[in-house]
A and B are shown apart, each in its own frame.
Chain A
């Protein structure tokens, strides 16, 4: 067991962890932050995307012990201080960018990382950036549209009808 201390969504936490404990397990089982989802076992689906020291990381590819001293962000820390949806979350709701909601936390985390890196991405750049996130419900149309909208771009001409 190793003791780790990190900041998760702005709050400092300290826990004893097994050396082989993944961040997904740490967040879900130890901190009860169940918004980070586990959709596969090969790091392909991106339902577990979190931010570690500002980088977009799959929570299933990193051990909790590796995050000792890190700043960690999860979906639970994304809303505005007053609890309202942030710009990206709001765009997902406005443009119906989610259905079952299971991949959604990972999508929102990836979108946030993308827009930080590239505040006005093109459609192709959005689609390329999401190559590590699988959604089975939405057909991606409304996810891409939501991310473009969240970046402040006009999406009114995007094909819907």
Chain B
């Protein structure tokens, strides 16, 4: 019988009522009395020298309040990068300045040059057109290999080249060389992980309000982590003390990573509101989002797998070029290194693994973490490579994977992480059952009878969620701690406000978090509310990304609730004149063990706040506790995915016919929400595999700058998915035993889709070793022409 409340119950989401009735409050729904509107004049060339800016005519336009240029930001800090990566030669990475408004040069299409503030948005846009701007266009670098050439134009004049860092990681050279020298077979693959745009449906918005009387600024912004934005913007860009700066992220319409980062626009409106002493609002258009939201992926990789005569994996080595774009976005440097290199072992026992990454500056929009961040890139490389190896060796791809699975835990990989638990055999068993492997031949015959090619692709993945502990990531270059925090505030009559550092932008925290606290206290969920997204209301938390909400912030909430229980037991012991050690909490009542004496939850909470008969010398009044939780390790969700496609041999069009995902997320608090997270990730991964691509021309013009040109997955592009999370191996080091589910779908699905397409083509006699994503009809048709 499924549970109907508490941990494990598929409770319906309470936040849905406001979203379904149009009562959500997103940042663009916020309007502040007296607000002005901001419009950015952005570069329309990829690389150029700013010769002159004449704003005089624009300043005289109706409604214009003020126009800012890069000059106004001389002496103001640039946007900081949050992770220092050390080169393999021991040198720190190059960190070019990233000004809020361009100074001297523009470095990508969309680089903001001027900001016009006017009484209305139309007036701001009109005035921006009247700005006289002279830009001397310079040669742009777009291709990463070309960017590393000695005679390439430089993105940053003060750097000696376009190389941000050259990073190497994993087993020592001798071990890797030996594995390849002694290999019975080596499979080599070159591939591209296509550049994507996260495209949450809500474009970014920032509204800043300044109160001169008390020197306080409030910024409403579409952020996944308001405290991080406050810290970065306050301390590193604008020099505002934290207590004078409040950052609020209200309802946020999706993030997928792209709203983690600190952006120029939110720093700008905060700065400008203080300068003009009026509120300033900026709302991105979708085309502006394409030019200014951090992009994702964009790797070019060569990867090799060494196998012995029995088909055991003996070595992996990789060489990746990772595009950073024109500037380092907040966590850009960590994505191809610590988030990608550390996952290169995948689900397999491979004794020697070496990862090489060169990060490159180009005249493109900055690239940063997008759903999965590094793990999709690692998984795509490895799982395409294993499939290619199986084809070359003439062995079943599932069998080859099973033979090399890690089966004993904990398992320390050659790339510095220790998987605490997992059961890859069980997830593969489950997957084979879900996809009905024995029935595939009949389904293929049916497709062939219709003149279509059918393919089955499988793959595995592992990811690292809840990045931690802080002392480890600090050694690896992180400039932030990676704990989280929760305050549990019990009110006098027993209702509870839980203030959390995590931020919900679609993940359903308002529903799932109370399930945990309600379970621990034995009270009804309706007595518990979740408060998040406002630095003035919550303890210092790190926000939501990397599937960390329950594993890290949820653990902090458990710790704080444990403190509440401990104190409440002391109060209950006093009320019942019993020994504290004899007090038990069950179903919302405290009782004395072995007696019929008990008091209700509400009696205890009232006593805490109305301390008339209260042992004030022993216990403080009140019932409110805070916990900061810093995990001992990452969590390691893993899974096995299968995709069946039909390929139209006349057009090359690929249709997804079946998709199955067997995941191990450890314990699950709300299975409905977890399944929804997997569904969403699958659509994004299928989008990457078949449709999505951010395209630049050779001059750095962004050719896919709207939904007219960037193919977003639509309802008819995807099937009903089969998902399962029953093969659960609980995390061993957090109190909930949870792992993380938000990114799994986006990590695990691209290789399954591409493997399926290649299976279809090869079965039909087309010897195609690889097709880069997106596997568009054009690319498939071309591949079939040989």
Contact = CB atoms under 8 A, between A and B. Distances in A.
Interface in B677-730: 677-684, 706-708, 712-716, 718, 720-724, 726
B718 A139 contact: yes
Contacts of A74: 22
Interface string B712-754: 1111101011111010000000000000000001000000000
* Main SS class of interface, A: loop
Most chain A C-beta atoms within 10 Å of own C-beta, residue among B12, B20, B26, B673: B20
A76 B20 CA distance: 9
B505 interface: yes
Interface residues of A, number: 58
Given A93-B13, A137-B506, A105 B200 contact: no
Interface stretch (B234-242, B247-255, B443-451, B494-502): B247-255
Given A40-B706, A100-B202, A105-B22, A138 B680 contact: yes
A102 B20 CA distance: 9
Interface string A137-161: 1111111110000000000001111
B21 interface: yes
B707 A45 contact: yes
A23 interface: no
B15 interface: yes
A6 B459 CA distance: 56
Contacts of B285: 40-41
Contacts of B777: none
A9 to B, nearest CB: 10
Most chain A C-beta atoms within 10 Å of own C-beta, residue among B21, B672, B683, B724: B21
Contacts of B200: 100, 102, 136
Given A45-B707, A136-B684, A39 B715 contact: no
Interface in B645-690: 672-673, 675-684
A72 interface: no
A104 B718 contact: no
Contact of B682 (A123, A134, A139): A139
A99 B676 contact: yes
Most chain B C-beta atoms within 10 Å of own C-beta, residue among A89, A123, A140, A158: A140
A134 B714 contact: yes
A45 B715 contact: no
A67 interface: no
B20 A96 contact: no
Given A78-B21, A135-B201, A100 B286 contact: no
Most chain B C-beta atoms within 10 Å of own C-beta, residue among A76, A99, A159: A99
Nearest to B678: A139
A96 B22 contact: no
Contact of A85 (B21, B256, B707, B708): B21
Contacts of B679: 138-142
Contact of A93 (B17, B199, B708, B712): B17
Given A42-B707, A98-B16, A99-B507, A37 B720 contact: no
Nearest to B24: A101
B411 interface: no
A132 to B, nearest CB: 8
Interface in A74-109: 74-76, 78-79, 85, 89, 92-94, 96, 98-105, 108
Contact of B203 (A35, A39, A99): A39
Contacts of B351: none
Contact of B19 (A28, A38, A98, A127): A98
B523 to A, nearest CB: 23
Contact of B675 (A94, A130, A160): A160
Interface string B180-210: 0000000000000000000111110000000
B508 interface: yes
Most chain B C-beta atoms within 10 Å of own C-beta, residue among A89, A105, A137: A137
B724 A161 contact: yes
Nearest to B18: A101
Contacts of A93: 12-13, 16-17, 20
Contact of A40 (B18, B286, B716): B286
Most chain A C-beta atoms within 10 Å of own C-beta, residue among B17, B19, B25, B508: B19
A44 interface: yes
Interface string B1-25: 0000000000011011111111111
Interface in B352-380: none
A143 B678 CA distance: 14
A37 B26 contact: yes
A131 B676 CA distance: 20
B21 A103 contact: no
Contacts of B745: 139
B17 A126 contact: no
24 contacts: A34-B22, A35-B24, A37-B26, A39-B203, A39-B286, A42-B707, A44-B706, A45-B286, A93-B13, A96-B12, A99-B508, A99-B676, A100-B252, A100-B254, A101-B18, A101-B19, A105-B19, A108-B20, A124-B716, A128-B716, A136-B256, A159-B720, A161-B722, A161-B723
Interface of A: 28, 33-42, 44-45, 47, 74-76, 78-79, 85, 89, 92-94, 96, 98-105, 108, 123-124, 126-128, 130-131, 133-145, 158-161
Given A101-B506, A104-B19, A130-B715, 12 more contacts: A33-B22, A35-B24, A42-B707, A44-B707, A100-B200, A100-B251, A102-B253, A124-B716, A126-B715, A136-B199, A139-B681, A139-B718
